Structure 1
């Protein structure tokens, strides 16, 4: 059940709902629009929706603790808004300021309502300040989680884009690798290659490592795992791009590639693939 001060607070703020919104917009709408990340109508709607949810929840809540179940509607709104702002390109500070900026118009209304009771004004305003601080910090937490999720998804998309599997010939696939080959990328490489083998029914795949700067034990193991997975799907692999430095490194590391065909260039590997298919390429004769 609401405390007397909480009931009085809900009554005061509820009576001045329109005035609160007007003052809040007047003070902070220009700040929210400064970077042009959202249209004015969208931002006005956010201000109005948050204030309405906050004031509608206030009479039903029996605590000023923002984490309690009574405040779930407010938290849900802020979570959705924070995630949306993360996608729009706002900063955590800009998102939290949306909540903190409500303090100024709220204090103005409370100062008028509790003008004859300074002690009550101090008590109520302090509790409201803590409540809004909690909501502001909550937006920062949700914003960061949303931003981390966006970054993780973008990294996955970049990995997929950086490991294209192309069909060189009927039954021959090519997987050009550029950059470092770590465990996460190996998983994407393997999934992309295996899926392409299933889609095309290819029996040969050329893995070109010309663009891989260094090959260590871990990279070699990743390559062997990919070759083994492809073989389980019925496709043999040829590794191309074995430069002299890489060849020496593989020998020093003691990595066994005796069961894997290797070539120095993609062109050489393609010729081997065509030979295994029984295909040949002939140059056209020059015109007489």
Structure 2
């Protein structure tokens, strides 16, 4: 074991409780201490001591000896990401350890300047590596959370609604891209199988613009529906969208389109053999 690493181990083993108390006090001064920090500080300090003993040096934080430290850091980073803490708060938790470690080294090796300088540099580099690791894990965790939330929102924004026996509807809202088209097709085709529906209405009233790519996505969806033995109606064709489709030269021949969802539903019911009539007003007045 290198001399400066031995000095760090000596400090962590002989003054562990004091360093821990000073670290927790330092975290408390920021006014944003989390309830879990009391437990996390103790776990991380113990893992740190174990890493120093197992590795004999602090130069390569990727060594297997530092796995317990990385695991503790990863756990607290993911926890903070899920709780909405910032990356700065996450790294602050680790960087706050520097002050008590420096103070402890000063107390322990104040009469050995060479050892003090080397050990202080080693501790500073190690804590920096730890802080960088927390930020890296935090960012990946946030990306995973955002991706999961986007998927959940996507699923919520493309519901398949049963309007009538044999008639399904998919109200599209927002931009229609490849990923969303795939999700719509999968969900819609599955519902066609489950309900035995013969007609699906794709309502694009909430789609802001229709370009060549969006039209291609719609055509793919209609084709998939027809391959399942059902038919499709596209509703929500506003005047602006109709003009855009014409100007782009998009061919929707063979696909039934309607201006509103109500018109599409009326057509679907006629195809199904239903006749909707208005009830006559009751004759006579109240007695």
Bin of the TM-score, shorter chain as denominator length: over 0.9
Aligned residue number for residue 250 of structure 1: 245
- For 1:254 and 1:102, the matched residues in 2 are separated by 65
Is residue 229 of structure 2 the alignment partner of residue 234 of structure 1? yes
Aligned residue number for residue 87 of structure 2: 92
**Deviation digits for residues 226-279 of structure 1, max 9, x if unmatched?**
111112222211001112221222122221211111111111111111122112
Shift of 1:108: 0.9
Is residue 8 of structure 2 the alignment partner of residue 9 of structure 1? yes
Q: What are the residue-to-residue correspondences of 1:183-198 with 2, within 5 Å? A: 183-198=178-193
Aligned residue number for residue 113 of structure 2: 118
Which structure 2 residue ranges, 5 or more long, are not aligned? none
Aligned residue number for residue 175 of structure 1: 170
Aligned residue number for residue 66 of structure 1: 61
- For 1:8 and 1:151, the matched residues in 2 are separated by 43
- For 2:48 and 2:278, the matched residues in 1 are separated by 77
Q: What are the residue-to-residue correspondences of 1:96-175 with 2, within 5 Å? A: 96-175=91-170
Which structure 1 residue ranges, 5 or more long, are not aligned? none
Shift of 1:284: 1.4
- For 2:166 and 2:70, the matched residues in 1 are separated by 55
Aligned residue number for residue 283 of structure 1: 278
Partner-residue secondary structure (3-state), 2:251: coil
Q: TM-score, normalised by structure 1?
A: 0.93
Q: What do you get for the CA RMSD once the two structures are aligned?
A: 1.4
Contact 2:7 2:115 in 1 (8 A): no
Aligned residue number for residue 77 of structure 1: 72
Shift of 1:116: 1.6
- For 1:122 and 1:134, the matched residues in 2 are separated by 19
Shift of 1:51: 1.0
Q: TM-score, normalised by structure 2?
A: 0.94
Partner-residue secondary structure (3-state), 1:60: helix
**Deviation digits for residues 33-70 of structure 1, max 9, x if unmatched?**
x347x4x2x22111111111111221111321212221
Aligned residue number for residue 25 of structure 1: 24
User: Which residue, 41, 48, 51 being the options, matches 1:47?
Assistant: 41
- For 1:30 and 1:234, the matched residues in 2 are separated by 68
